[in-house]
Amino acid sequence: MNLLIDIGNTRVKWRSTEVDACTGEGVLENSELSEALIVEMVECHAITKMMISNVGKEAITSLFARVAEKLGLEFLRMKSQPVMAGVKFAYQDISRLGVDRCLAMAASFEHKGVMVIDAGSAITADYVTGDGDHQGGYILPGLQMLKVSLNSGTSRIAVDVSMGNIEPGCSTEECVGNGLTLMLQALMAGLIKQADAYGIKDYVVTGGDAEFLTTLCPEVAFSRRSNLVLDGLQKFITEKEGAEG
């Protein structure tokens, strides 16, 4: 049994798999992780192999690695590679492309063009054509980062922001919330326009603010996926085991 682990800045998402089937999954706060908890998880799901993607603290990877060594498990640390699951990445220095973005694109690519948007702490958007060529992407501040930067950078307009309306505001709160909504709506429209230029018509969206971003273009059919990094790990390990078999 495999244990797939997606380590983020605040949470760890995990999934247990056998062959290409999911047998269990969940989310843990980084602050609640301990060696005892990981050992319990491993024993509960009869894990023999761990595969980790980490964009968070290295200490958490080390914690899982210690458990794997203690229990004699195979341990794999996923790193960005020039080609993954048929996707050929555009970065000349592949080490500068986050493994989470690589795995999200690998999970979304099904031999047709796709735009992959991750609406997390930062918003990332990447374009992959039907032949698997990554055309590059964008990295922008996420919704919460925009709120915090506006409130912290402009001391006289610190407000609680409500999102969803694009009409001109008639209070400071409305001006901020509606302005951010209008800006993000324009962003989504611009990302889709760029996708059209590549002949891409499929749009996959993931991350904590995925639902809100997709409502900004109600006429567009988005595919929402909740655990793209884990999907990418599962796709990679399934292909690897298939090749070895």
State pTM to two decimals.
Answer: 0.90
| Structure letter (DSSP) for residue 168 | P
The answer to whether 131 is a known catalytic residue is no
Q: Which residue in 6, 20, 100, 231 is the catalytic one?
A: 100
On the question of a common fold for 2-77 and 83-231, the answer reads yes
Which of 3.40.50.720, 3.30.470.30, 3.30.420.40, 3.30.9.10 is the CATH number of 2-77? 3.30.420.40
The domain locations on the chain are: 2-77, 83-231
Q: CA 197: distance to chain centroid? A: 24
**Backbone torsion region of residue 136, taken as left when φ is above 0, otherwise alpha when ψ lies between -120 and 50, otherwise beta:** left
pLDDT tens, position by position, 164-209 = 788 998 888 888 889 999 999 999 999 999 999 999 999 999 999 9
Q: Comparing C-alpha atoms, which of 72, 91, 75 is closest to residue 83?
A: 91
83-231: CATH topology is Nucleotidyltransferase; domain 5 (3.30.420)
Q: What are phi and psi of 179, to 5 degrees?
A: -65, -45
Decide if 205 contacts 225 (C-beta within 8 A).
yes
Of 46-50, 52-56, 64-68, 85-89, which range is least confident?
Answer: 52-56
